[in-house]
Structures are given as C-alpha cells and as structure tokens.
C-alpha cells in the first residue's frame, strides 16, 4: 500500500501521472473501455434474442403478451429521472456545490430502489403465474400455446436479471459516492469516481432503453 | 522524489520487506512476479495432466485410467493450459513487468486494478481447482453444448471459474490499453514503442473486445444447466451451433491473445541478438493490429463440420486465409532482420529461432486446416492437435522461455547458467518435435482426437509421441531449476548484459521502485543499433 | 511530482466542461416525451391496428434516438475526447459483427434444409 501513497499536499494525483488532467483523462478512458465490455456482454444476449425472435416470432409474441407494459414504462421513466439526477450531481460538484450533489446522488439511489421494487412486483407476479424460465415454466398453469415458451422467459429473466444486478451494483457505488461527497472528498478539482460511476449508471439506463421495447412492446 | 537520494543497492525487490508487502504491492513489477509464481504453478499442474494423457496413450487399451478419468484429465489439461497459463501467461508476467519499463512509465495506468486483477485471477483459478474435489469436469475446455448442459459433472462451477478468470483478463487488457495510450514517456511516440508493446497493445484490444462475449456465453451455460432455458438445446428449439458461434467469437481471438505477445517477445529477442535495427518496424507493428482485426472474422473455421451453413463455411474459409498475410509479414521481417546480423546464440535467441521454426510449421498446417475440403478430412483428428500445439507450445511457450531467459537479468539482477539453459532448449525443442510431429501423421491416418483408446495400427507413433513428452517434461523441470538457481545464486547482472537498445535496459538491474532514476526522454526508435 | 518542465501545463489543470443544467433538463424531458411516443405508437399499432410491420422499426428508432441523447448529453460523449468516442463505438461495431455472421449462418442454413 505504501507504494502508491505519493499524493502531494491534498491533491489526488497518483505518482505515475503528470497532473490531475492526465489522471482524469486516463481514468475516463479506462471507464469507457469498461463500458465497451458491458455493451458486448449484454450484446451477446441481444444477439441471441434477435436470432430466436426471428425464428419463433409467435412464441415471443405470446411471451410478451404476459408482460405489463405499464410497469415497463413506469420503470423507464424512473430510470430517466435517475440518470438526470446522476448527471446533475456531477454538474453540482463541478460548481463546488457538494451539498446539492449529495442530495442528487441520494435521489438517484432512491430511483434505483423504486426501479427494483417495481421489478420485484413484476417478478413475483410472474412467479405466481408460473411464468418461469426454461423447464421451470408451468405449462399447465400458463396454458402455454408454445412448448418452448420457457425460452422467452429465459431471455426475459436473464436480461432483466443481469440488468437488475447492474442496478444494484450501481446503487451500492452511488451510496459510496454519496458518503465520500459528504466527507468533502470531491470538488471541482477531483470528481473522477463520480464521473465514472455516472457513466456506468447511464449505461444501465441505456440498456433499459432497448430492453423496454424489446421485451414489453415488440415481443 | 526518491531520485535525488537513490541508493543503487535499493531496488523494487528489497525496498519493502516481508511477505505482506508482496500481496499488497501496487508495483507492476511485483505483480508481474506474483503472476509468474502462480502461472508457473498452474503450468506444472497442466503439464502433469499432459504427461498423464500421453502415458495413457502409450499403448492401445486401458493403461491406468478409466475412460471417464481420461476425459477429465484431458479437460483439466486443456482448461488449465488455456485459461490459467497461455492466455494470461505473457501479458500478465512479462507484460506487467516490462510494458511500463519499455515505454518509460512509472507504473501501469491503474495499479490498484492491476493488483485486483491478480486476486480475481487467483479466485477464478481456485474455483476451477475446487472442481477437482466437487465432481470434476469432463466437457473439454470448450464446454460444447448440448453435452455441457447435460453432464452430471461440476461443469457449472468450471464455467463460473472461467467467467471470473475472464474478468481478470479484461481488467489486464483495459489497463494495458490506457497505459499504452497515456503513460508513454516524453518523446516516446507510438512509432517508437518497442514491438513487444505493440503486441501487448493488440492483445489488450482483443482481451477487451472478445472476452465479454465469452462471459455471457458461460453465464448462459450456467443458466441453461440450472433452468434448461433451451437457447443451446435443440430439444427445446435452441441451437447448439449458436453456442459454438458465441464461444469461438471469443476463443478464436483468444488464440491470438495467446500468440501475439509471443510474437512481441520474438521481435525483441531477434533484434537484440542480431544487434541490428529490426527490419520493417512499422510492418511488424501494424501486422499485430492486423492479426487482431482479422482474428474476429475467422472464428467459423472451428465449425466447418459442426452443421453451420455451407455459405458460412465458404466465407470463413476465405477469410481465414487472410490471417496468413500479416503473419507472413512478421515471419519475413524477422528473417530479414537476421540477414547479415551480428548474431549470437544465447538461449533467448535459441528459443526465438526455435519459435520461428515451429511457428512456421504450425502456421502452414493452419492454412491446410483453413481449406474447407482438407479440413473435412482432418477435423477432430490428431492433425488438429498437432497443429495447435505447434502454435501454442512451439510458439507461445518457446517465446515464454526465451522471454524469461532474456529478461531474468533485468527482473532479478542476476544471470542464469547459460550452458544449462541451452540444454533446456535442446530438450524442449527436440522433445516437442518428437511428441507432436508424429501426431500430424496420426491425424492424417485418421486417429480422432480426445479419444481414450485407439486401434493397434496407431501404436508405434503414439509410443514415440509419449516418449517425446518425457523429453519436454525433463526440459521444463530443468528450466525451473535454471530459473530458481539464477534467482538464488546467479552471477550479478549488469544493467544491460545483452547490449539491447530498448528502454528497460537503460535502468539498473533490478530496476528501482519507480523504474527510472529520472523520467527518460526518448529521442530515437527502440532498435537503433549501429 | 517530478519536474515536468517539458510539458506546457505547469500548475492548474484547465477546468472540465460544465454542461449547463438547462441542457440536462431538456434532455430529460425529451426522453420522457419519447417514452410517451413509444407507448403511444405501441397502443396505435397493437390495440388500434392489431399489429403492424411498422411496430418494431418505430419502437427501435425511438429507442435509438433516446440512446443517442443519453450518450451525447448524460454521458457527455458530445463533449468528450474523440478517442473515447472511437473506443465506445468499437463495442457496437464488433457486436454488429457477431450479429451479422450468426444471422448469416442461421438463415442460410435454414433455407437449405427447408428444401429437403
């Protein structure tokens, strides 16, 4: 640990960077590279969905007909608002208004929580109706017209589950940011972690923007 | 800064003491050594499994393994060697150590992430090893569906382990890309970075772009095993060939993750021991990127007989031929570098020349396999096994050995025993050819790969092959001895024992904690020999 | 830090671009309105017209516009360095590659077997 403690007089610049700007650019590039991996990981599921949707359009339509688009739309709005507050928290930090940033971060966390609660209601309703992935799907209870309806719900639970996991991770990270903001660790000179988590949170929003029509509407 | 009061006896190895200082170190050099110890251990393990395979195949019929045990041994050999040795091998050991040194940086861009990636790697490796006690795995390292979703063995744990190790690989790649972009010393333009760095850079791009698709594929296998979603299961309208597409979208580029860094090592060694400016720096550098790019367009050549469409097969066959172009560019540039060079034959150079010889065979047989018509005959025979061992072992492991001998003086400040090291080369090189050349013949005769048994007609060549594996084993054990005795009691090495021109040789051996006394300012290319 | 006399910037780092609040607010409302459009078109195509070939293209066109807004403004790619734009677009390029080749295989395969 002693190897990296080379920051001078209150600055946050690690020893191997020239200055704060250099560190910020490097960190941000790292974050973007990480986002590329997120896109490709979720992308694999999207490609699978597209292929099987085109092979079994009727089965997918049957699956989507069981989803409640009102829940999906509501969650879309919740995530849009959370993305806005996340972006605003950086705006406030850049202007040195760390109290406002702190509030915005917490609103973001609350939005994430609302999203997860709505999701939980959706999931429990699916569970009750036996709409489960793969061979767990209760064909008798759901009166499934297609024997492989479980595949649709496999995609549904994998995609929303992986997305929900990202929401949870994002919430955890934002809480951590809020605590550090309260401690006064961020300001106009140093807000790279907020910027990074922000980009991560927007990616989560971005993926939902596609998941919503894909799962709830087009189906 | 430490530079003003630097004591020449203080270096990265002895500046901090105690075992704890290693496990918490953010120094890229120490993290490289952490990787070295762990990967050497896994290599030993994978090597033992390899020897067991060859021992079982010494004669037809059962020797000492049951067919099920054979499948497990084969799976562990493949999975360990791929995920824990060759994929992380050169980037994580030599890349971690030398990328910052070669570009004149004090560290990689994200030192904490670098240490974290080692912990992630070890976590994945331990999860993988836990399957040895939790039901074992017999799917082969490729986890092909539908078998991998039906087998009663611990395949779920193994795919999750591979997922975790994939994360480690992504983090290393991400770190190296940003390091190369952002941390080059003043004057170190992209066209002045050593070719090893170009190779690592191209590798890192592959790690970041290909591994996420493997990650989701492995997760889908786990989900498939838990709930039977049917995406890869034909009984439910799924498509097992789609699994192969997803798998090879990663695993073909992964083949280049394994070989590109080796090519980088060879470029360094050949330039240093020819004492000559490397021929075609730009061509070699960009052919690394070229190989990386082409590698994403050729994965279907693993699937010629899998049931993918004929059109896809034809397209992939043509595209695969393209790989030969950047690879041949490298080959010819290395040969041109040797031409009229002031060559000396220390063991790093022997291994590099061995690489050229073996990789040429591996590459050319690769072209034979890329041809759709011949592949239908050779597919899933020992011809394929011989081909990829010529590339992976003959290529990558030769470069690992050459690279380690080349850089031991810098890493530990001590010289190894040259004559013993040459002896290891002789054992490994001869042993390798004795082991794997007969397998080309066996494959052409039609001996299928992955089988536990074979007909008596194949016996004599299999016996030769198994005896060769003993020579390789002796060679690697001897290498381990040479390396350890160099570290413990080797003669003190000067800062630049080979007279090489790249930046890592301009600092002391071993380097100080922050790599350079003063930040280097680069005014010339990396291979400016007179 | 060591001497960095070779570099232009001595002390202070130039401040990062601060995206004004109005832009964020406008983007948020645009996203909300576009979501309403998505739902409205869904209602039109499925409930009123009982299915239309346009349903999917329209839904994804709107999604793409929303994604572009998030990328450009919330994620700040519009104000970011060109190399970060390149890096991020690489992900989509390689995703497209995976998609196109898998589709190529699966659909050429099916048309061949269906003639049997």
* DSSP string across B438-503: HHHHHHHHTPBTT-S---GGGHHHHHHHHHHHHHHHHHHHHHHHHHHHHHHHPPBP-S-TT---SG
A7 and C CB contact within 8 Å: no
Average pLDDT, chain B: 94
pLDDT at A102 over 70: yes
Q: What is the mean pLDDT of residues B118-123?
A: 98
pLDDT at C85 over 50: yes
Tell me: the pLDDT tens digits for A145-158?
Answer: 888 889 999 999 99
- The pLDDT, as a whole number, for residue B121 is 98
With both helix axes pointing from N to C terminus, report the angle between B240-274 and B195-227 in degrees, rounded to the nearest 10. Answer: 160
* Chain B residue with the nearest C-alpha to that of A150: B229
Q: With H, G, I as helix, E, B as strand and everything else as coil, classify residue A190.
A: strand
Q: Which of A13, A77, A206 sits opposite C67 (nearest CB)?
A: A206
Q: Where are the domains of chain C?
A: 19-79, 81-116
Q: What is the mean pLDDT of residues B343-350?
A: 96
Q: What is the mean pLDDT of residues A27-46?
A: 96
The dihedral region occupied by C39, where left means phi > 0, alpha psi between -120 and 50, and beta the remainder, is: alpha
Structural contact between residues B245 and C101, judged by C-beta atoms closer than 8 angstroms: yes
Tokens representing A104 are 């915005």
- The pLDDT, as a whole number, for residue B6 is 60
Which of C101, C111, C113 is the best mutation test for B, with the most CBs of B within 10 A? Answer: C101
Query: To which residue do tokens 């595949």 refer?
Result: A151
Contact C102 B315 (CB under 8 A): no
Q: Which of B26, B105, B236 sits opposite A3 (nearest CB)?
A: B26
- The pLDDT, as a whole number, for residue B256 is 95
- The pLDDT, as a whole number, for residue A219 is 61
Q: Which of B175, B212, B239 sits opposite A37 (nearest CB)?
A: B212
- The pLDDT, as a whole number, for residue B492 is 94
Q: Which of B376, B254, B221 is nearest to B307 (CA)?
A: B376
How is A86-144 classified by DSSP, letter by letter? HHHHHHHHHTT-HHHHHHHHHHHHHHHHHHHHHHHHHHHHHHHTT--SGGGS-HHHHT-
Q: What is the mean pLDDT of residues A128-155?
A: 87
Q: Which of A95, A188, A213 sits opposite C60 (nearest CB)?
A: A213
A41 and C CB contact within 8 Å: no
Q: Which chain B residues touch C105 with a CB distance below 8 Å?
A: 241, 245, 300, 308-309, 311-312
Contact B182 A16 (CB under 8 A): no
- The pLDDT, as a whole number, for residue C15 is 58
- Largest separation between any pair of C-alpha atoms in chain C: 76
- The pLDDT, as a whole number, for residue C55 is 83
Contact B213 C98 (CB under 8 A): yes
In this prediction, residue A73 has a pLDDT band, given cuts at 50, 70 and 90, of very high
Tell me: the pLDDT tens digits for B460-499?
Answer: 999 999 999 999 999 999 999 999 999 999 999 999 999 9
Which of B107, B216, B247, B299 is the best mutation test for A, with the most CBs of A within 10 A? Answer: B216
Which of A84, A89, A198 is the best mutation test for C, with the most CBs of C within 10 A? Answer: A84
Tell me: the pLDDT tens digits for B128-180?
Answer: 999 999 989 999 999 999 899 988 889 999 999 999 999 999 999 999 999 99
Domain A18-218: CATH architecture, name and number where available: Up-down Bundle (1.20)
Q: With H, G, I as helix, E, B as strand and everything else as coil, classify residue B380.
A: coil
Rounded to two decimals, the pTM is 0.94
Q: Based on DSSP, count helices (H) and strands (E) in chain A, helices before strands.
A: 7, 0
CA–centroid distance for A108 within its chain: 12
Q: What is the mean pLDDT of residues B225-233?
A: 90
Structural contact between residues B181 and A33, judged by C-beta atoms closer than 8 angstroms: no
Residues B529, B525: Cα–Cα separation, whole Å: 10
Contact B242 A44 (CB under 8 A): no
Q: What is the mean pLDDT of residues B339-350?
A: 95
Regarding the domain delimited by B25-506, which CATH topology (the fold level of the hierarchy) does it fall under?
Answer: Cytochrome C Oxidase; Chain A (1.20.210)
Tell me: the pLDDT tens digits for B300-325?
Answer: 999 999 989 889 999 999 999 999 99
SS3 track for chain C: CCCCCCCCCCCCCCCCCCCCHHHHHHHHHHHHHHHHHHHHHHHHHHHHCCCCCCHHHHHHHHHHHHHHHHHHHHCCHHHCCHHHHHHHHHHHHHHHHHHHHHHHHHHHHHHHHCCC
Q: What is the mean pLDDT of residues A90-98?
A: 94
Contact B308 C102 (CB under 8 A): no
pLDDT at B78 over 50: yes
* Chain A residue with the nearest C-alpha to that of C11: A19
Q: Which chain C residues touch B186 with a CB distance below 8 Å?
A: 6-7
Contact B227 A148 (CB under 8 A): no
Contact C90 B209 (CB under 8 A): yes
- The pLDDT, as a whole number, for residue B2 is 43
Q: Where are the domains of chain B?
A: 25-506
Q: With H, G, I as helix, E, B as strand and everything else as coil, classify residue A187.
A: strand
Q: What is the mean pLDDT of residues B328-354?
A: 96
In this prediction, residue B10 has a pLDDT band, given cuts at 50, 70 and 90, of confident
Q: Which chain A residues touch C80 with a CB distance below 8 Å?
A: 28
pLDDT at C112 over 50: no
Helix, strand, coil proportions of chain A in percent (round to 5)?
Answer: 80, 0, 20
Residues B294, B386: Cα–Cα separation, whole Å: 23
Q: What is the mean pLDDT of residues B269-292?
A: 95
Q: Give me the residues of B, 208-247, that contact A with CB < 8 A.
A: 208-209, 211-213, 215-217, 219-220, 223-224, 227-231, 236-239, 242, 246
Report the percent of chain B where pLDDT is more than 70: 99
Q: Which of B25, B105, B177 sits opposite A3 (nearest CB)?
A: B25
pLDDT at A5 over 70: no
In this prediction, residue C3 has a pLDDT band, given cuts at 50, 70 and 90, of very low
Q: Which of C7, C97, C102 sits opposite B296 (nearest CB)?
A: C97
Residues A163, A109: Cα–Cα separation, whole Å: 16
* Chain A residue with the nearest C-alpha to that of C64: A210
Q: Where are the domains of chain A?
A: 18-218
Report the percent of chain C where pLDDT is more than 90: 59
pLDDT at C5 over 70: no
Residues B84, B39: Cα–Cα separation, whole Å: 7
Q: With H, G, I as helix, E, B as strand and everything else as coil, classify residue B414.
A: strand
Please state the ipTM of this predicted complex.
0.93
Which of A149-153, A163-167, B190-194, B403-407 is least confident?
A: A149-153
- The pLDDT, as a whole number, for residue C45 is 85
Tell me: the pLDDT tens digits for B355-376?
Answer: 999 999 999 999 999 999 999 9
In this prediction, residue A11 has a pLDDT band, given cuts at 50, 70 and 90, of low
* Chain A residue with the nearest C-alpha to that of B217: A44
Whole-number Cα distances in Å, B215 to A38, A170, A191, B89, C96: 10, 20, 31, 20, 18
Structural contact between residues B265 and B94, judged by C-beta atoms closer than 8 angstroms: yes
Residues B466, B209: Cα–Cα separation, whole Å: 38
pLDDT at C10 over 90: no
Q: CA B342, B343, B348: angle at the middle one, nearest 5?
A: 145
């Amino acid at each position: 640990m002693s190897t990296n403690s080379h920051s001078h007089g209150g600055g946050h610049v690690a020893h191997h960077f020239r200055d704060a700007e250099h560190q910020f650019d490097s960190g941000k590039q790292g974050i973007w590279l990480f986002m590329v991996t997120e896109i490709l990981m979720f992308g694999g599921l999207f490609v699978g969905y597209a292929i099987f949707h085109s092979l079994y359009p009727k089965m997918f339509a049957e699956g989507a007909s069981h989803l409640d688009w009102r829940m999906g739309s509501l969650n879309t709005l919740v995530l849009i608002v959370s993305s806005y507050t996340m972006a605003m928290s950086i705006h406030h930090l850049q202007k040195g208004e760390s109290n406002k940033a702190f509030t915005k971060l917490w609103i973001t966390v609350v939005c994430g929580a609302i999203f997860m609660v709505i999701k939980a209601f959706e999931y429990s309703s699916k569970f009750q109706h036996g709409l489960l992935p793969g061979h767990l799907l209760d064909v008798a209870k759901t009166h499934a017209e297609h024997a492989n309806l479980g595949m649709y719900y496999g995609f549904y639970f994998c995609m929303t589950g992986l997305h929900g996991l990202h929401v949870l991770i994002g919430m955890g990270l934002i809480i951590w940011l809020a605590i550090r903001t309260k401690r006064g660790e961020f300001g106009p000179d140093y807000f790279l972690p907020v910027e990074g988590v922000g980009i991560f949170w927007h990616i989560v929003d971005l993926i939902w923007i596609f998941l919503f029509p894909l799962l709830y509407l087009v189906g | 800064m430490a530079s003003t009061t630097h004591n020449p006896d203080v270096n990265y190895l002895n500046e901090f003491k105690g075992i704890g200082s290693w496990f918490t170190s953010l120094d890229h050099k120490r993290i490289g050594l952490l990787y070295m110890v762990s990967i050497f251990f896994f290599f030993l393990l994978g090597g033992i499994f390899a020897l067991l395979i060859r021992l079982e195949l010494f004669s037809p019929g059962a020797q000492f393994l049951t067919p099920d045990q054979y499948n497990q041994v084969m799976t562990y050999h493949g999975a360990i060697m791929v995920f824990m040795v060759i994929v992380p091998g050169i980037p994580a050991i030599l890349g971690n150590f030398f990328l910052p040194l070669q570009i004149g940086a004090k560290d990689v861009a994200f030192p904490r992430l670098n240490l974290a990636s080692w912990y992630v790697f070890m976590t994945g490796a331990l999860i993988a090893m836990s399957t040895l006690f939790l039901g074992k795995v017999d799917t082969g390292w490729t986890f092909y569906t539908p078998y991998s979703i039906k087998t009663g063995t611990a395949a779920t744990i193994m795919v999750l382990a591979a997922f975790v190790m994939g994360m480690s690989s992504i983090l290393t790649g991400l770190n190296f890309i940003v390091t190369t972009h952002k941390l080059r010393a003043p004057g170190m333009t992209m066209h002045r970075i050593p070719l090893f760095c170009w190779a690592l850079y191209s590798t890192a791009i592959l790690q970041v772009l290909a591994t996420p698709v493997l990650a989701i594929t492995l997760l889908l296998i786990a989900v498939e095993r838990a709930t039977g979603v049917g995406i890869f299961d034909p009984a439910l309208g799924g498509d097992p060939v789609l699994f192969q597409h997803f798998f090879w979208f990663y695993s073909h580029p992964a083949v280049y993750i394994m070989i590109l860094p080796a090519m980088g090592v060879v470029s360094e060694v050949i330039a240093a021991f020819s004492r000559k400016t490397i021929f075609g720096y730009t061509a070699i550098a960009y052919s690394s990127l070229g190989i990386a790019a082409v590698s994403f367009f050729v994965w279907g050549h693993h699937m010629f007989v899998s049931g993918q469409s004929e059109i896809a097969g034809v397209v992939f066959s043509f595209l695969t031929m393209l790989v030969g172009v950047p690879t041949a560019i490298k080959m010819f540039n290395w040969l041109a570098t040797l031409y009229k060079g002031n060559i000396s034959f220390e063991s790093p150079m022997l291994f590099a020349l061995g690489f050229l010889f073996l990789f040429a065979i591996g590459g050319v047989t690769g072209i034979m396999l890329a041809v759709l018509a011949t592949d239908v005959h050779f597919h899933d025979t020992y011809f394929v096994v011989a081909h990829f061992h010529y590339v992976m072992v003959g290529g990558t492991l030769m470069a690992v050995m050459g690279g380690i001998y080349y850089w031991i003086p810098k890493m530990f400040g001590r010289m190894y025993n040259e004559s013993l090291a040459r002896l290891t080369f002789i054992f490994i090189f001869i042993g390798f050819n004795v082991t794997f050349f007969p397998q080309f013949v066996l494959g052409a005769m039609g001996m299928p790969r992955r089988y536990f048994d074979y007909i008596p007609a194949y016996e004599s060549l299999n016996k030769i092959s198994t005896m060769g594996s003993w020579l390789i084993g002796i060679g690697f054990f001897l290498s381990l001895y040479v390396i350890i005795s160099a570290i413990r009691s080797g003669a003190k090495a000067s800062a630049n024992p080979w007279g090489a021109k790249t930046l890592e040789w301009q600092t002391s051996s071993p380097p100080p904690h922050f790599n350079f006394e003063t930040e280097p300012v680069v005014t010339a290319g990396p291979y400016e020999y007179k | 830090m060591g001497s960095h006399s070779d570099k232009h910037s001595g002390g202070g780092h130039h401040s990062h671009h601060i995206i004004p609040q109005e832009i964020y607010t406008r983007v948020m409302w645009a996203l909300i309105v576009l979501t309403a459009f998505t739902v409205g078109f869904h209602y039109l195509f499925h409930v009123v017209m009982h299915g239309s070939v346009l349903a999917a293209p329209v839904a994804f066109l709107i999604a793409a516009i929303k994604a572009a807004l998030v990328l450009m403004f919330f994620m700040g790619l519009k104000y970011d360095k060109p190399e970060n734009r390149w890096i991020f677009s690489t992900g989509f390029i390689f995703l497209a590659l995976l998609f196109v080749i898998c589709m190529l295989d699966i659909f050429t395969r099916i048309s061949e077997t269906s003639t049997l």
